[in-house]
Amino acid sequence: MMTEWEEQSFIWPKGYTSDAVHAKLRYSKLDVGWLVSEVPAAAAGVYTTNQFCAAPTAITKQLIQKKHTLQALVMNSAFANACTGEQGVKDVSQEQQWVAEKLAITPDLVGVASTGLIGSYLPMAKMEKGIQALKQTSNTLLTEAILTTDTKTKTLCLTATIGGKQCTFSGFAKGSGMIHPNMATMLGFVVTDCQIAPDCLQTMLSTLTDETFNQITVDGDTSTNDMVLLLANGVAGNQEVTTEHEDYPLVKNLYHLLLTELAKMIARDGEGATKLIEVTVDGAKTKKEAQAIAKAIVGSNLVKAAMFGNDPNWGRIISTIGATSATFDPNKVAVQLNEITVVADGQPVAFSEQAASKSLEQEIVFVHVDINAGAHSGKAWGCDLTYDYVKINATYST
């Protein structure tokens, strides 16, 4: 029988250990870490669509597609190991070997994730020292070690009873700039002690990514590296969850919530951002069109700049909607900003600009669009465009 879930302070599920160290890849922050399952775990992933796919991403993708099983993940920040050719591939292989020897497992059970500066080789002497210093502990320092320009960790932990056993689902992510996923420009991970069939895990992730991570944007750029991975080690001892299992809807809803909230945390923490923008589109002819309109709005630099300036300039929203290929009648479109109606039937509505501007000062701005062309809805999340975004990215490598 389906039960509800509960949120709790972030912990690792049963059967997982982790650690992170400062390997001096960068000045003073944690930069190398790992996550280890006591047994091989079912694994699923989605990956960047950037044609310059970084070596760690490409190799981890190959591992999961071949066996759908991982037992350890090693991660680093500061260096992306992207556009590094054959040397980058060799370095990933070496990382896998070091971790495998340390844990007495085979290298093909070790996934690798890197984030940071593109086009620089990994400092392998420092990487080796960092990996050798890692321990199997219950600390959650790994959630800090993967951060780059992020201002905070992004974590969420939920528990639920699945098949009569209490299971924990722990999600963590990084991402602040180069966020315009399709897949995603970030690292995102959800690990659980629930036992879930690998094909079921992959199907859920592939489906839910389209509604979550693929619906966020910060700056319209897609990275070379990033991915979202799910691991399920089954240590909780429940009967394996498949698409036919009575608790499958609960498990899918758990993942939907986790992936949605992690995606929103990334959008809110966009480089230099001061607020999260959530766009809801109703009345679209298809779900795909609803999602496309919503993402176009949060991705518009003019809309993002207006939100930063607390400017209720709804003309920018209307213009963005009209530039999409969605099917609708412009004379039936309605727009609300924080529940203040500014457009109805494609025409301006009298409203207090002062009140609307004041409402835009809040940390979350809600834009609601009704296309009145069908029965489908979609959501997307983004952030405002600020002076600090330019400052951060004008000097990123220097």
Tokens of 304: 């993002």
Cα–Cα dist 386/200, whole Å: 41
Note the pLDDT of residue 183.
33
**207 annotated ligand binder:** no
Q: What value does the mean pLDDT of the chain take?
A: 91
**137 annotated ligand binder:** no
- In this predicted model, which residue has the larger pLDDT, 267 or 360? 360
**148 annotated ligand binder:** yes
**271 annotated ligand binder:** yes
Reported as a single tens digit per residue, the pLDDT across 9-31 is 999 999 999 999 999 998 889 99
Note the pLDDT of residue 345.
96
Nearest to 272 by CA among 146, 117, 154, 385: 385
Peptide bond into 183 cis (omega under 30): yes
Reported as a single tens digit per residue, the pLDDT across 182-228 is 433 478 999 999 999 999 999 999 999 888 888 887 544 456 667 89
- In this predicted model, which residue has the larger pLDDT, 94 or 222? 94
Reported as a single tens digit per residue, the pLDDT across 48-62 is 777 778 899 999 999
- Return the active site residues: 185
Domains of the chain: 6-266 (3.60.70.12), 276-394 (3.10.20.340)
The answer, yes or no, to whether residue 173 has pLDDT greater than 80, is yes
Reported as a single tens digit per residue, the pLDDT across 110-154 is 999 998 888 889 999 999 999 999 999 999 999 999 988 788 899
